Amino acid sequence: MRLALLIHLSGVIVWVGGMFFAHVCLRPVAAEQLPPPQRLPLLSAVLGRFFNAVTIAVIAIFATGFWRLGEHSGASIPWRWHAMAGIGTLMLVIYLMILFNYYPRLKAAVAAQDWPAGGAAMNVIRPLVLVNLILGTVTVTIALLGG
């Protein structure tokens, strides 16, 4: 049980912490200091590595979450677990939208050196990451303070 919780929390740290770093630290500095021909390839490459890690983290989060739910079959499941599962599912949908819809547009634009198209893709990715960052923060808050 403790190992499952460790894996679960490690996945959350990678996902939510990575979004915080990318959204609050990396992207604003890159936007301030680098022109699009340098900024967009950097962000595309960083996001590619991040998305690889997040995919593993998401699998770990959901696998351990379902495993922990299975341990409580027949028992009363705390409301905050339902909230975490619901919010986490919404976060997963948003992540999959980014991964399979908008990130490929960014990669294609970078490959074609189409900086306006790359910027347009980032202008969609950025607010979606912010939404997931907020949802992740709410989820962690519910988990820790939910009673």
pLDDT tens digits for range 50-66: 999 999 999 999 999 98
Q: Would you place residue 70 in the very low, low, confident or very high pLDDT band (cuts 50, 70, 90)?
A: confident
Q: Would you place residue 72 in the very low, low, confident or very high pLDDT band (cuts 50, 70, 90)?
A: confident
Number of domains in the chain: 1
What mean pLDDT comes out for the span 87-105? 98
Q: How high is the pLDDT of residue 9?
A: 96
Q: How high is the pLDDT of residue 26?
A: 98
What mean pLDDT comes out for the span 96-122? 98
Q: How high is the pLDDT of residue 74?
A: 65
Q: How far apart are the first and last CA of the chain?
A: 20
pLDDT of 147 above 80: no
* Domain carrying residue 33: 2-145
